[in-house]
Amino acid sequence: MSSRQPFHVLLTILLLFLLTGCWDARAIEDVAFAVGFGYDKPESNDKIKVTYQFINTAAALEAQTKKYINITRESNSVHETIRDTSLQTYPVNSRHLKVLVIHHDLAEDIQIDKLINQVMKSNEVRRSCYVLISREPAQQIFSNEIANIVPVQQLKVLSRTIGYSNKKLPALTLGKMSSHLQEKVSFAIPEVRTDAGRNTLGGAFVVRGNLQKVVGHLNVRQTIGLNYLLGYEVGGTTTVNNDDKLRVFEVHDVKSKPKLTYSKQRGFEASFALQLTGRLSEDWNEDENSFKGNYLKLVEKKVEEDIKKSIEDLLTILQSDLKADVLKLHDLARIHHFDEYKNIKKEWDESIFPEIPIKVDVKATITDFGTKGATTKD
């Protein structure tokens, strides 16, 4: 026998093990890929209703087949609904989860930290998953279909789209929300609602830090003010009307400079200095003449007044009604006045924040008025 023959036999045996590398492979049609979780409050208060949106893998082979499948289950816990779903379809695979939608009724009743506990513990769910609070039940949101587009996919695209509208907050990820909840600080979650049968983003729901529950709602105008105060690069427009002459200011850049001071005599005092730059994108004034020295100044003043009014409305509801510091003043207190803040952290939202005087200064600058700046009269 050749001295190399035993070596060849051993090598052959080892190669046989390599040939079984796909022994646990599963056909894609046999996997239930969950792309969306929707949490609702059922009629039975001691349970939770969860709607799972799955990609219909069979749709790739049949053009007329619906691209997604919704399955709704009720149970005492989120994890139990996941297990119960396997009674109707293949076991849930959450590695491709894109969006988590929570109905506001449920978020007002149960702490959000408890609702997301299962997904945070899961080693499948990514922290980059987007979170939305819905005005209508999440089950309905997952059923609002446009031209056979998967609803969750549409929600993902809407959440990621930035720079076009100031009526919605920037996307909130599961990881970021979990961080807020762990710190027990107040924050706002983007809202999704049904508008003429279509899913629409705009507005926000407010979560108070110590409660970890939704305590109220911000309408679109108040959300615009919040975006400006936090200095988010959201784009969008501000429309003003002076003597029935409509003008539109398109926001290109927002800079916000918050400041929080403290003294034993006066306590905490806050201020925000806002600088907005943009263009006069629309002007219904028949006597428009942007080349005049004071014409644009008058428009800028009206824009400043309108923005300041929306912010004042926002501050009233946050300080008087909701008692929730979503302006991140608690961060300034923690960083710059830690000795005072550490003793009042637990009562910051309900006792300290509502009593803080907040001054807002708004400066709007029109840097461009497009390709038409005046109306010529015959």
Residues 202 and 291 in one domain: no
Residue-wise pLDDT for 230-257, tens only, equals: 998 788 888 888 777 889 999 999 999 9
pLDDT for 4 equals: 63
Q: Does 273 fall in a domain? A: yes
pLDDT for 8 equals: 73
Name the residue among 192, 200, 153, 154 with its Cα closest to residue 172. Answer: 192
pLDDT for 9 equals: 75
Q: Does 269 fall in a domain? A: yes
Q: Does 128 fall in a domain? A: yes
Residues 50 and 179 in one domain: yes
Q: Does 278 fall in a domain? A: yes
**Separation between Cα atoms, residue 204 and residue 197, nearest integer Å:** 20
Q: In Å, how far are 68, 111, 327, 338, 355 from 349, measured between CA atoms?
A: 42, 17, 11, 16, 10
3-class DSSP assignment, residue 300: helix
Place of tokens 């990621």: 160
Domain edge (last residue) among 198, 218, 238: 218
pLDDT for 169 equals: 95
Residues 69 and 36 in one domain: yes
The H or E element that residue 299 is part of is helix 295-316
Q: Are 138 and 40 in contact (CB under 8 A)?
A: yes
Q: Does 321 fall in a domain? A: yes
User: 287: which 2 tokens?
Assistant: 């006597």
Residues 201 and 246 in one domain: no
Q: Are 191 and 201 in contact (CB under 8 A)?
A: yes
Residues 68 and 50 in one domain: yes
**For residue 80, which phi and psi values (nearest 5 degrees)?**
-65, -35
Residues 241 and 374 in one domain: yes
Residues 199 and 233 in one domain: no
| 49 CB neighbour count, 10 Å cutoff | 21
Name the residue among 158, 358, 160 with its Cα closest to residue 270. Answer: 358
Name the residue among 97, 70, 98, 73 with its Cα closest to residue 85. Answer: 73
Domain edge (last residue) among 180, 197, 218: 218
Name the residue among 153, 97, 160 with its Cα closest to residue 124. Answer: 97
Residues 314 and 352 in one domain: yes
Place of tokens 């609002």: 144
pLDDT for 277 equals: 94
Q: Does 319 fall in a domain? A: yes
Domain edge (last residue) among 197, 218, 239: 218
CATH number, residue 266: 3.30.300.210
Residues 205 and 293 in one domain: no
Q: Does 7 fall in a domain? A: no
Which amino acid is located at 79 in the chain?
H
**For residue 62, which phi and psi values (nearest 5 degrees)?**
-125, 115
pLDDT for 311 equals: 96
User: If phi over 0 gives left and psi between -120 and 50 gives alpha, with beta otherwise, what is residue 312?
Assistant: alpha
Residues 345 and 368 in one domain: yes
User: 239: which 2 tokens?
Assistant: 């429309």
Q: Which residues pair with 277 in a beta bridge?
A: 253, 365
Q: Are 192 and 202 in contact (CB under 8 A)?
A: no
Residues 140 and 239 in one domain: no
Q: Which residues form the domain of 263?
A: 228-378
pLDDT for 378 equals: 45
User: 278: which 2 tokens?
Assistant: 């943009």
Residues 97 and 208 in one domain: yes
Total number of domains in the chain: 2
Q: Does 97 fall in a domain? A: yes
pLDDT-flagged residues of the chain (< 50): 378
Residue-wise pLDDT for 154-198, tens only, equals: 999 999 888 889 999 999 999 999 999 999 999 999 999 999 889
User: If phi over 0 gives left and psi between -120 and 50 gives alpha, with beta otherwise, what is residue 323?
Assistant: left
**Separation between Cα atoms, residue 267 and residue 321, nearest integer Å:** 21
